[in-house]
Structure 1
């Protein structure tokens, strides 16, 4: 396509793709206070709606893990404190899921520590939530990044990293509701770095083509500057995996497995294990998003798309800034993109957050994956939600959207406030007082 026509096409798109086409505006239907929560450092909370029930998990003012349950027509939660408390590690997020029988599963507060896992013994009965701390009994002593996903058939899958940063593997379990027991979904790890490296995956997510899509990068040591080789694979059932061109893969997938590398980014060239995603264009072609340095050493967002028989790599941002990062522990995130997705009227859009350039949503030219418009506030929440309440210096607002029922005209959102990450190290006083965890019931404004 000629440069003149591309420029004309971008102008046409810009004229016909105003930001109100892709902007999501929300209003508050209802709000409630859930309780006081730990504010000394950020760690992931969880909100899960499975009608007619809603569940929430958080660390309270004393750092103890708490799970709450209510029916959607009730105004208050019932709570149960669990016998585990968070320290200073921002890796120790919480994950929730509900199985086919209606029993809640809870896992969290782990970073290279033995499995912490709770399960209901009676459907929808919060008091029946008990500690189990075992699934298959093997490779459960060094667990990090617990995640649950539900298959289209309703089966519950749990996956996690066994090992540590720079030496680990990704394992998948599947739950049998009849025997109330777990087994390995795969007899071997899906991603295995051995004792030389570990994978940082994003996904798997279920794509518009009905396949599961996964991207990841490898890291050689706990130093976050040693990420390399952004990679991709897909599966129809989470058991049988293949490359993007359909070549079967035999797990475990390692750094030497042919056909999975999207972009062979070397270490110390800006590849960071946050903000890497799989998205899709209107033809359902996978697009792998990631962050690395450009030829001038500046930090940029890249989108790689599978076109015919190869990955075509597009530089989407054009920023005059370099995010220099290194070392271990949880760090402050200066640049973070979202996945490419299809918005209203068929436009491709992509969110971004940048410490110097702000945040917003790009409207992308589908052919070049370059921005043709920038919406500075594409998700517009009421000021009551985005406004910081605490007067303690350095506090930041945190959000967790509902991870249960898919968003539609209505959704739910958690809000609380904490200090930023501190590389998982204790902070000397003074520390902020507990913040208030709030739940908002939202409705999309037409």
Structure 2
């Protein structure tokens, strides 16, 4: 703590702070001048007297004041000789501790004074007898007689009302008396906080005259009101002046102070003690159309009032500037009311006697008598210019800031219970809020407190360490059985780290007090903004058809493949306007596109006039179109599957999209979903699909026979495990090894029941399988117990089915999934085999959570994809609507473990649909090519049916060699 600099010198005068001076702290600050001058005098006297005391002379020459020796000098003179110094102790509470005298021929001549505590206390308080006449609530002609009766027609009188505390001394100076001889006049009355008359405090008996220049003083017997009967006119009707005085501190208003830190009002005592009134601003939440009467009852239907409910500890002080009074004479307003910690009425702190007029008052101080709340009734019908301040410790040297903040991490549908993170129903009602905090920082939460379980103890604020692990509960709330109880919770950080706040609903507010320096989160937020600038060159080519994007027909993580480069041609298959499947073809280096409407391929087997693909495509995000090309160049397109028979067409001629027919059946199943096509280095085409339904399905595959132009018999690859296997992207590496990875889901309408991940590798096109290192053999069909578990991602961990995968230059398998971090935020987890063992790493920095206990994702974050370039760099691709990134197509370079780099590669808002990438194309060329368009993930996005005719773009990005 910084102390006052003292110099041993005698300052001849003590500086008086003027009203126009700007008060500030520091060595030369006005707030410290008086204390410094007094300290200088003290040092001077001490230096002078120490020289005397060192001789030991005062050991026997200190004397006391007694009844027989009222100033102590008689004893001092008797004990000393001429020229000797002695001192007299002045007693406790005196402004002087000692007076030093010299014996001058038998006379005690004072030569020095040693300051006592009362002198400094007086300077610190800066209090005195203040004229408070202007603070009165005045009712003309309002008289309370000595017997307690009241008249409102008391000519020549005014009724003055003041709020008082027990023990306060009040003085009236002015004319008093009446023309009635013997008139018993109650000059002052004590009223309680509800306006009830208690006792006359001072009376006088008139001798039949109005006598000027009278003084009456009384002491308040209890907290409440004091009524003063002021004489306003003489017997002839002439106006008379009067004044009312009380002792109170003088408050230095904010316009004379350095208010950078939000401090608004202070006394000299506060400045010296490091305290000041800070304006609460938005921190002072209020209830509109609400008023509490002086008996504690509440009116929630008024249109003239609002109510503030400020949390306090015993002894806390608030200051109020705003509307004051009532337009109803005699109506009692509890301007400030003490409530207990449960919000129950205790007593009125500041009663106001209605005068029939509402005015504005500033500088009204309320002191809390106990822990709980101070309720403030503010009359908004008069004015909404209302300011509330709280007295707090304040350093004039520390750069302290306090106010509402949004600089926090908010994870929806998440709470901390005990030492663990718990996911709550996906209704957006509950939130985990994390605030970076240094030791001593203060956080206040205003919002809903409680639950539907009365008596439940809820941890509202928890101290977390740097790793966000719970350390100590700092604030709790005992539920009243409702979530409609709005109040405050506050806590001070006990160590550096994080503070967790349990927030409910969307109308909560967070306030912080901290040293005002740029925080890590602020710097990171700025970095995020800078990172929205594209960091790679990109070109966009508009496709010749418009797309239907009401659902994820053209952009979802499980499309394999949508764009293929084969031979001299580039192909793209889409669901176009009208939900009709189309295929496009152009030369790989550019030129005009050829287009064919695949909905026109007739179903000659059904012979019912319908097409093979049963267009238009069903309004369902599962029903995508995928493409594969055989060794000989025949093109296969499968489309419009979600529990349907095999729907697939094949080109009549290699690399020719102008003629089509029904493709051979890969399966006779009537319940096919998620068809995929992959190709081995030798050109063999391998089809994969699910048979069954969500939560009750199995996974098959079949290779295409280029000699017979038929599919070979299907093979059951992955069996059910009391649920349904969901595959990651299927990978075939440069050596022709097939990599399968999957998880399971137990509940069809709840993605939160996904668990996994399981893996197996085949070097013979799916005939046999092993672990990644080849040490374990797995017979078909594969299952959760008959495979290699590469990560434990249990139900509720954040894992959602069907994400991206690829292989690196060493043909090691890489995949990505979602996982919740320790805060409950959704993050992208990179999982890979390094040639010896499996590794994992969270590579994103998201500050939100994706709700999974729903049948359909909301599209706020697309499922992650991963790819490897020809130079061996590994990237994760994603899009999110959160964190200001809705206009970004982004990648995370995960090549170097432990050093992910997230940046933007293109500016395009895809809405709530996902991305789809042909990883084999990227691996060959080093360029990221994919289809970009705008749309919805179905009915989860309001207005999704507007996206029926959207442009489609082929994006090509040249990725940097390193970052």
Please indicate the TM-score interval, normalised by the length of the shorter structure: 0.7 to 0.9
2:544 equivalent among 18, 34, 45:
34
Match of residue 803 from structure 2: 275
Tell me which residue corresponds to 2:773. Answer: 245
Distance 1:135 1:27, change over 3 A: same
Q: Alignment partner of 1:54: what SS?
A: strand
1:404–1:109: structure 2 CA closer, same or farther, 3 Å change rule? farther
- Uncovered stretches (5+) of structure 1, i.e. residues with no partner: 1-18, 389-394
Secondary structure of the corresponding residue to residue 217 of structure 1: strand
Q: Label 1:443 to 1:162 Cα distance change in 2 as closer, same or farther (>3 A).
A: same
State yes or no: 1:218 paired with 2:744.
yes
Distance 1:146 1:349, change over 3 A: closer
Give the TM-score normalised by the residue count of structure 1: 0.76
Q: 1:135 to 1:335 in 2, by over 3 A?
A: closer
CA offsets 1:45-100 (integer angstroms, 9 cap, x no match):
62333232333322222112222334456413142342321122011111112212
Superposed CA deviations along residues 254-302 of structure 1, whole A, max 9, x for unmatched, are 2222x5112233222221114353555x766544432222455333333
Distance, in Å, in 2 between the alignment partners of 1:81 and 1:173 is: 23
User: Could you tell me whether the CA contact under 8 Å between 2:936 and 2:944 is conserved in 1?
Assistant: no
Structure 2 counterpart of 1:323, from 843, 846, 850 = 850
Where does 1:11-30 land on structure 2 (aligned, <5 Å)? 25-28=536-539
- 2-structure distance, mates of 1:347, 1:428: 39
User: Which of the residues 213, 228, 231 maps onto 2:755?
Assistant: 228
**1:224 offset after TM fit, Å?**
0.8
Deviations 1:325-363 (A, max 9, x none): 21224542526434374785x665544545444474444
For the structure 1 residues 365 and 77, does the alpha-carbon distance in structure 2 shift closer, same or farther, using more than 3 Å as the test? closer
Q: Distance in 1 between matches of 2:799 and 2:711?
A: 35
Alignment of 1:300 with 2:810, yes or no, is: no
1:193 pairs, out of 720, 734, 742, with 720
Question: Aligned-residue CA RMSD in angstroms?
Answer: 3.6
The answer to whether the aligner puts 1:160 opposite 2:689 as a matched pair is yes
Structure 2 counterpart of 1:203, from 697, 711, 729: 729
Question: In structure 2, what is the Cα distance between the partners aligned to 1:428 and 1:364?
Answer: 36
CA separation of 1:163/1:304 partners in 2, compared to 1, >3 Å: closer, same or farther?
Answer: same
Change (3 A) 1:236 1:24: farther
In structure 2, C-alpha distance between the alignment counterparts of 1:76 and 1:308, rounded to whole Å: 43
- Where in structure 2 are the equivalents of 1:41-440 lying within 5 Å? 41-44=551-554, 46-72=562-588, 74-82=591-599, 83=611, 84-132=615-663, 134-138=664-668, 140-184=669-713, 186=715, 189-193=716-720, 196-207=722-733, 211-222=737-748, 223-239=750-766, 240-246=768-774, 247-257=776-786, 259-275=787-803, 277=805, 280=808, 285-306=812-833, 311-317=838-844, 319-329=846-856, 331-334=858-861, 336-339=863-866, 341=868, 349-357=875-883, 358=885, 360-364=890-894, 366=896, 369-371=897-899, 374-377=901-904, 379=905, 381=906, 386=908, 405-406=921-922, 407-408=924-925, 413-422=930-939, 431-432=946-947, 434-439=949-954
The answer on whether the counterparts of 2:573 and 2:584 sit within 8 Å (CA) in structure 1 is yes
SS state of the match for residue 85, structure 1?
coil
Deviations 1:24-60 (A, max 9, x none): 73343x8444122223223126233323233332222
Paired residue secondary structure (2:622)? coil
CA change 1:267–1:276 in 2 (3 A) is farther
Q: Find the residue that maps to 1:225 and give its secondary structure.
A: helix
Q: Is the 8 A contact 2:536 2:960 kept in 1?
A: yes
Q: Deviation of residue 206 (structure 1)?
A: 2.6
Aligned residue pairs total 401
Cα distance in 2 between the residues matched to 1:398 and 1:300? 16
Question: How far, CA to CA, are the matches of 1:81 and 1:335 in structure 2?
Answer: 28
- Ranked by relative contact order (alpha carbons within 8 Å, sequence separation 6 or more), the top structure is 1
Larger CA Rg, structure 1 vs 2: 2
Displacement of 1:417 in angstroms is 2.3
CA distance in 2, matches of 1:398, 1:335: 5
Note if contact 2:538-2:955 (Cα within 8 Å) is conserved in structure 1.
Answer: no
- Seen in structure 2, the aligned counterparts of structure 1 residues 404 and 69 have a Cα distance that, compared at 3 Å, is farther
CA contact (8 A) 1:105 1:119 kept: yes
